[in-house]
Chains A and B, each alone.
Chain A
Amino acid sequence: DTGVSQDPRHKITKRGQNVTFRCDPISEHNRLYWYRQTLGQGPEFLTYFQNEAQLEKSRLLSDRFSAERPKGSFSTLEIQRTEQGDSAMYLCASSHRVSNEQYFGPGTRLTVT
């Protein structure tokens, strides 16, 4: 079991550009979550998938954000027209459907200049 992986680990982009992050959950985990963590704060929930279905989205997820999990395995999070306020660590977590334990990946740190 290799754990949750995220790619890239770091991304620097100019304001207005689009970025896409990828998350590969632990195999056989059918639930996948995205969180955002800004400096000095705890992670905040963005969205959650069960298999390929996106079941909940936070109000933090503006129209510029979109997440997909097309085959119920890996997931992508896209941010369009990035703003400086999007600079944060984006964390992915996964869990098995019969478990209450969420396991986190190492995160993707986004810096918008």
Chain B
Amino acid sequence: GEDVEQSLFLSVREGDSSVINCTYTDSSSTYLYWYKQEPGAGLQLLTYIFSNMDMKQDQRLTVLLNKKDKHLSLRIADTQTGDSAIYFCAEISNFGNEKLTFGTGTRLTIIP
């Protein structure tokens, strides 16, 4: 079945760039997503990329997709304290299946 892996923790100094990585196993993934979850809250859709794209940029966020290696990354430029949260990578398969498959999440901590 589908599997999505992320490292659990990342610490970054305020003002630096954060890079959160994700690997997935489903070669039929059509869309790949990044969600943000703050403590006690639901998930906020940050951005997503279609599987035939290599890169997508949206303000401070840059998504890179290496389909050959099944590797997805999220770069947050000029990281701020408000970026502290858990970031989830997720994918949707190509076979008419509407469910999101999530990774375990990466907890981003900002060091002042």
Contact = CB atoms under 8 A, between A and B. Distances in A.
Interface in B1-53: 4, 30-31, 35, 40-45, 48
A106 B41 contact: yes
B104 A48 contact: no
Contacts of B104: 40-42
Q: How large is the interface on B (under 10, 10 to 19, 20 to 34, 35 or more residues)?
A: 20 to 34
A48 B48 contact: no
A91 B42 CA distance: 7
Give the dominant DSSP class at B's interface.
strand
A104 interface: yes
Contacts of A42: 4, 88, 90, 102-105
A100 interface: yes
Nearest to B8: A40
Interface string A20-58: 000000000001010100001111110010000001101
Nearest to A58: B99
B22 to A, nearest CB: 11
B76 to A, nearest CB: 19
Nearest to A42: B102
B16 to A, nearest CB: 26
A75 B101 CA distance: 21
Given A41-B104, A42-B90, A104 B98 contact: no
Contacts of A55: 98
Nearest to B99: A45
Given A45-B100, A48-B99, A100 B43 contact: no
Interface centre among B43, B97, B102, B103 (most CB of A within 10 A): B43
B101 A45 contact: yes
Contact of B48 (A35, A44, A91, A101): A101
A17 interface: no
Interface of A: 4, 31, 33, 35, 40-45, 48, 55-56, 58, 91, 93, 100-107, 109
